[in-house]
Chain A
Amino acid sequence: MRRALLIGVAVILLAAAGLGLWRAATTPAPADAQAQVQRVAATLRCPTCQNLSAADSPSRVAASMRAIIGEQLGQGRTPDQVRRFFVDRYGEWILLSPPTSGLAVAVWLVPLLAVAAGGVGALRFARADTRRHDAKVDTGAMRRAEWAYDAFVAHDMAAAGSRPPGSSLVPPGDLPWASTPEGEALEAALVSLLSVRTDTPAGQPVDPRTDRRALARVAVALGEAEAAERSPDPPLPAPGGSRPDRRRLSWTASSLAFLTLAGLLLATNLAPRGAGLLVSGNLPPRTPQDAEQAIAAYRRELATDPANTQVRVSLAATLLAQDQPREAGRELAQVLRLEPDNAEALLYSGMIAARSGNADIARVALQRFLDIAPDHPAAPMARRLLAGGQQP
């Protein structure tokens, strides 16, 4: 009767909870336009911020992105179409969720596979050792195991952790128990029995089968420890192919493989990205004197080789860093006359134009820079400038 009642309650609870979950899953989120915009914006990165979504960022760019999203959603486009619009302008980089195609899919799959593999490994390990369950242990051994346990508890209480003097089981040295594998196994078995007997839910009886099993483990470990003590010199391992050697070999191989892989990845990653002039990396000379010297050196070189656009761009960059935009602009104009598609010259021209308030010229120059060198290290900064952000 009572059982039937319990089952009834359980069924009702399960049904109610299932119904509750179903209802929570099907209740639509508030459909007002602003919430929808926020949901789409939360999947897009704010291009001028560091690690904030367009929904969270207070910046001007994010605000304009939200406005664009609202406009496009208002025209009936789907969230995916809106996202595509931003991807076309900024690349996949604008999506906060990495793509599921190409090599990028690894970021989704690798953790899943790792967790699955870990789970399988743990499961196999947890059910690996069944032999001790039914270890046949005679009563005498069990009784001696009980004695050992009592002694262990007394010892544990009397002097937590210190070495029981005179115990022959405990080898000399600073580590009282665990300096031999057998001693360690015995101690572990004793602690395990201790936790079975004391670490049960308060007020509940100890499960006799569990207790017996733990006691049997102590008995087995005690027997092994005594056997090891009687023959202090273990038999030498058979020459060749012994277990430690195999383990050593596999450890070495896997460590080497891992380190090679990590080293390769890091080496390629740390190699300078984009040679030559970096807006961020090409540090201007520290003091004005250095800058003057550098400018003089560049001018000397240009006097002999006026067509060297590389040097002329460097000169312009130094001039720009020294806050002489007009001179820099003149040099850049020369470069662009020779090489209309010189990316860096376009970039610096755009920066100068943006700084002096020539928004239209800046837009043309920067857009051309981005078309020519979309992967240039300064490209994000150029995009920022294009989007109306602040100049660094």
Chain B
Amino acid sequence: MRAVLGQLGLSVGFAAAVGGVAWWLLAARGGQRAKANARLATRMMFTGALVACAALVWALVTHDFSVRYVAENGGRAVPLYYTVISLWAALEGSILLWLAVLTGLALRCMRTVHPRAVGLQPWAMATLCGVAVFFFALALFGANPFELVSPVPADGPGPNPLLQDHPLMGAHPPLLYLGYVGMAVPFAYAVAALVTGSTGRAWVLVTRRWTLFAWTCLTAGIILGGWWSYEVLGWGGYWAWDPVENASIVPWFTATALLHSVMVQERRATLRVWNLALAVATFVLVLVGTFLTRSGVIASVHSFTQSAVGPMLLGFIAVVLLGAGGLFVWRADRLGPDEGLDGVLSREAVFLANNVILVGLAFTVLIGTVFPLLLEAVNGQRVSVGAPYFNRMAVPLALVLVVLMGVGPLVPWNLADPRALGRRLVGPAGVGLAVVAALGLGGLRGLAALAVFGLAAFVLATIIVQFAEGIYAARASTGAAWPRAALVAVGRRRRLYGGLIVHAGVVLAAVAIAASHAYAYEGQRELRVGESFTVGPYRAELVGVEQRSSPRKNSLVARVALSRGEASYGVHEPSLSFYPSTTDAIGTPSVQTRLGEDVYVTLPAIDAQRGVATVRVTVNPLVVWLWVAGFVMVAGALLAGWPSPRAPWRARRRPVRRSEVAPAAEAVRQ
């Protein structure tokens, strides 16, 4: 029943997507009836995906083990919340989530037409429907969650144990998917721009906020993923340069580059090919990331499955690359010549530098991730490319990026006067140097960390200067009190100040990463109940050892009392859990989060009978600020991208009086 319903949803969605492609193509040629059909098909597509998702959730919740996906990922003992989010616990279900997000975005894309995108939109919609055709086909023919199993098992193993231990699993994958799939919209409009040949400013204006939306979700998803990894995996870190993590950061780099470089094209008839290529590349990298992580090509923590999905995805990547390449060839006459810039010292040039660094980072991480595969394919040599490589290659580039974040917003468009620029940079540079001097002479070790702190102080100073100037000017012009002047200043130029807040978040993240990387320390000891040991200023005492059993898992828990001097930080309970579906124990850390540093307690080994446990205590400085930085980045992006009452598609509702525009038009004509 549920399987039939789900299958039905997928089939309807698939058919609607195929119809959507055809009708949107007809609509692009001006057919009005085709347009009505196309809109209907798009709605059907969304409905189909929703029905499929709902059917699978229903099957999961009602423990319908005749459905293969439920038999493999459901379990009677799994709590309701984790049962529901098992929708994305494995490949087949996550494709359904992907479909729901994609068709939902297509629906939104259909409803809100930028007035300048009227000619582009049908082509973009056809592209989105084309992408949906592929993913519906993937769900139907490659990885169908609604296959039936016989005989029907009485119970299932539950989702991967790592995924049923932390509530963040409910937020991290959907956000990541919103970010991933959201990149399909800029891609679709880039294709539309290429097809129609209007490769100018229009598609850039239309997709700016779509890109920003996808970027925000991707950022939040990546940070939450780090948080989850930190709280669940228990190795003490949040970023391991794992292929799955790399697959999410590579499109993030190119999307960030795109967000910056389109600002140049908004102001100049230039960088056409570059921006189109970035939009296409970001989506292709999303697909490549999905391929790398979902096909089992590179085994890692997250690649919990292998299936026929790999070849299908690879084929789709080839189709997208070939198609986009063909469009570029076909439209080569509309892609140039590009207008040059006025000089090296200009905002445009800073954005170019930013793009070189960001794309360089994306390229480096991508090469590093696939290099073991490539090398083995070429000469059979087996090598590892791990954290030391990525740190050595990416950190210098990231430092340059931090410098650009400070300098860039102060450089005016077109051409800067070096002396004026110098005058504005002197103060913040002084702050940065002073911080380096104070911390360095104060005995802080580590060149890289110190450089990050100095640069961070410099960038934060430039940001504060810009906010202060804006508020001061607003106060001068409105005469309002400070808080109100601040609101006015920010309200006037939300894009600028939103962007600056995002920069502040990035800088905060850089500081947190540098500090936790350079100054973490740890200690480990085998303790009997009642014994204790110290790590730095912290004292850990083993209070007790317990065994806790539930139908879902058996856990061995060490009760560790943590204190620093006189202050007690309570009793922590790191554990080792045994799930019926796995042979290895799953360790769960316990984290004492504090503003200055986290104390991270893990349990490498435990013997409940003898009352002995090996306790590992890691002190990670400033980690909490990384999560704060994530919130700051998202807040800044929301401020920059929140629809304003003057947004074009709202303005459309208000009829434009001819008398308002006629003088303008008259003047332009002269």
- In the complex the two chains form, is B377's CB within 8 Å of A244's CB? no
- In the complex the two chains form, is A58's CB within 8 Å of B454's CB? no
For B443, the chain A residues whose CB sits under 8 A away are 23, 27
Q: Quick check: is B478 within 8 A (CB to CB) of the other chain?
A: no
Q: Contact mask B310-336 → A, CB, 8 Å, 1/0?
A: 010010001001100110111011011
**Which stretch (B93-101, B139-147, B410-418, B506-514) binds chain A?**
B410-418
For B476, the chain A residues whose CB sits under 8 A away are 203
Give Cα A179–Cα B602 distance, bound, in whole angstroms. 62
- In the complex the two chains form, is B340's CB within 8 Å of A128's CB? yes
The smallest beta-carbon distance between B3 and chain A, in angstroms, is 19
Chain B, interface size: which category? 35 or more
Interface centre among A115, A252, A262 (most CB of B within 10 A): A115
Question: How would you classify the secondary structure of chain A's contact residues: helix, strand, loop or mixed?
Answer: helix
For B440, the chain A residues whose CB sits under 8 A away are 17, 19-24
- In the complex the two chains form, is A166's CB within 8 Å of B662's CB? yes
Q: Quick check: is A358 within 8 A (CB to CB) of the other chain?
A: no
Q: Quick check: is A139 within 8 A (CB to CB) of the other chain?
A: no
Give Cα A262–Cα B437 distance, bound, in whole angstroms. 50
- In the complex the two chains form, is A175's CB within 8 Å of B198's CB? yes
**Which stretch (B65-73, B182-190, B445-453) binds chain A?**
B445-453
Q: Quick check: is B368 within 8 A (CB to CB) of the other chain?
A: yes
Q: Quick check: is A272 within 8 A (CB to CB) of the other chain?
A: no
- In the complex the two chains form, is B329's CB within 8 Å of A390's CB? no
**Given known A129-B339, A151-B664, A161-B114, contact A210–B377 (CB-CB < 8 A):** no
For B336, the chain A residues whose CB sits under 8 A away are 243, 247
Give Cα A259–Cα B325 distance, bound, in whole angstroms. 10
In B615-641, the 8 Å CB interface with A consists of 616
In B205-222, the 8 Å CB interface with A consists of 205
For B356, give the chain A residue with the smallest CB separation: A118
Q: Quick check: is B667 within 8 A (CB to CB) of the other chain?
A: yes
For B385, the chain A residues whose CB sits under 8 A away are 96-98, 107
Give Cα A104–Cα B352 distance, bound, in whole angstroms. 30
For A203, give the chain B residue with the smallest CB separation: B473
For B80, the chain A residues whose CB sits under 8 A away are none
Which of B269, B344, B584 sits near A184, CB closer than 8 Å? B269
For B489, the chain A residues whose CB sits under 8 A away are 202
Q: Quick check: is B482 within 8 A (CB to CB) of the other chain?
A: no
Give Cα A45–Cα B353 distance, bound, in whole angstroms. 35
Q: Quick check: is B529 within 8 A (CB to CB) of the other chain?
A: no
- In the complex the two chains form, is A93's CB within 8 Å of B667's CB? no
Count A-B contacts at CB 8 Å: 387
Q: Quick check: is B155 within 8 A (CB to CB) of the other chain?
A: no
Q: Quick check: is A238 within 8 A (CB to CB) of the other chain?
A: no
For B346, the chain A residues whose CB sits under 8 A away are 126
- In the complex the two chains form, is A162's CB within 8 Å of B115's CB? yes
Give Cα A329–Cα B454 distance, bound, in whole angstroms. 66
- In the complex the two chains form, is B343's CB within 8 Å of A126's CB? yes
The smallest beta-carbon distance between B656 and chain A, in angstroms, is 4
- In the complex the two chains form, is B235's CB within 8 Å of A57's CB? yes
In B509-532, the 8 Å CB interface with A consists of 521-523
Q: Quick check: is A14 within 8 A (CB to CB) of the other chain?
A: yes
**Which stretch (A188-196, A316-324, A349-357, A361-369) binds chain B?**
A188-196
- In the complex the two chains form, is A154's CB within 8 Å of B663's CB? yes
For A150, the chain B residues whose CB sits under 8 A away are 664, 667
For B118, give the chain A residue with the smallest CB separation: A174
The smallest beta-carbon distance between A285 and chain B, in angstroms, is 16
For A16, give the chain B residue with the smallest CB separation: B437
Interface centre among B321, B424, B445, B476 (most CB of A within 10 A): B445
- In the complex the two chains form, is A196's CB within 8 Å of B412's CB? yes
For B240, the chain A residues whose CB sits under 8 A away are 51-52, 56
For A99, the chain B residues whose CB sits under 8 A away are 383
Q: Quick check: is A301 within 8 A (CB to CB) of the other chain?
A: no
- In the complex the two chains form, is A17's CB within 8 Å of B436's CB? yes
Question: How would you classify the secondary structure of chain B's contact residues: helix, strand, loop or mixed?
Answer: helix
Q: Quick check: is A13 within 8 A (CB to CB) of the other chain?
A: yes
Interface centre among B375, B466, B522 (most CB of A within 10 A): B375
- In the complex the two chains form, is A269's CB within 8 Å of B376's CB? yes
Q: Contact mask A247-270 → B, CB, 8 Å, 1/0?
A: 110011001001100110110111
The smallest beta-carbon distance between A10 and chain B, in angstroms, is 7
For A375, give the chain B residue with the smallest CB separation: B380
For A253, give the chain B residue with the smallest CB separation: B329
Q: Quick check: is A122 within 8 A (CB to CB) of the other chain?
A: yes
- In the complex the two chains form, is A166's CB within 8 Å of B665's CB? yes
Q: Quick check: is A207 within 8 A (CB to CB) of the other chain?
A: yes
In A147-170, the 8 Å CB interface with B consists of 147-148, 150-152, 154-155, 158-170
Which of B375, B602, B652 sits near A58, CB closer than 8 Å? B602
- In the complex the two chains form, is B344's CB within 8 Å of A127's CB? yes
**Given known A126-B349, A152-B664, contact A147–B670 (CB-CB < 8 A):** yes
**Given known A162-B648, A166-B662, contact A13–B301 (CB-CB < 8 A):** no
For A22, the chain B residues whose CB sits under 8 A away are 440
- In the complex the two chains form, is B433's CB within 8 Å of A251's CB? no
- In the complex the two chains form, is B393's CB within 8 Å of A111's CB? yes
**Given known A126-B344, A160-B651, A168-B669, contact A201–B466 (CB-CB < 8 A):** yes
For A306, the chain B residues whose CB sits under 8 A away are none
Q: Quick check: is B256 within 8 A (CB to CB) of the other chain?
A: no
Q: Contact mask B359-393 → A, CB, 8 Å, 1/0?
A: 11001100110010111111111111111110011
Give Cα A27–Cα B336 distance, bound, in whole angstroms. 55
- In the complex the two chains form, is A63's CB within 8 Å of B670's CB? no
Give Cα A63–Cα B205 distance, bound, in whole angstroms. 55
Give Cα A214–Cα B450 distance, bound, in whole angstroms. 41
For B325, give the chain A residue with the smallest CB separation: A255
6 contacts between A and B (CB under 8 A): A23-B441, A24-B450, A115-B363, A164-B664, A173-B119, A213-B415
Which 6 A/B pairs are nearest by Cβ-Cβ distance?
A: A20-B440, A129-B340, A96-B386, A16-B437, A244-B333, A151-B667
Additional A-B contact list (12), CB under 8 Å, known A121-B356, A166-B662, A203-B473: A9-B430, A92-B384, A96-B389, A99-B383, A103-B375, A103-B379, A123-B344, A127-B340, A175-B116, A184-B200, A185-B339, A207-B412
Chain B residues at the A interface, C-beta cutoff of 8 Å: 114-116, 118-119, 198, 200-202, 205, 234-237, 240-243, 265-270, 299-301, 311, 314, 318, 321-322, 325-326, 328-330, 332-333, 335-336, 338-344, 346, 348-349, 352-353, 355-357, 359-360, 363-364, 367-368, 371, 373-389, 392-393, 397, 410, 412-417, 420, 424, 426, 430, 433-434, 436-441, 443-447, 449-451, 454, 466, 469-470, 472-474, 476, 489, 496, 521-523, 583-584, 587, 602, 604, 616, 646-648, 651-652, 656, 658, 660-670
Chain A residues at the B interface, C-beta cutoff of 8 Å: 9-10, 13-14, 16-17, 19-25, 27-30, 34-35, 38, 42-43, 45, 50-53, 56-58, 63, 91-99, 102-104, 106-108, 110-111, 114-115, 118-119, 121-123, 125-130, 132-133, 144, 147-148, 150-152, 154-155, 158-170, 173-179, 181, 184-185, 187-189, 191-192, 195-196, 199-204, 207, 209-210, 213-214, 243-244, 247-248, 251-252, 255, 258-259, 262-263, 265-266, 268-270, 273, 375, 390
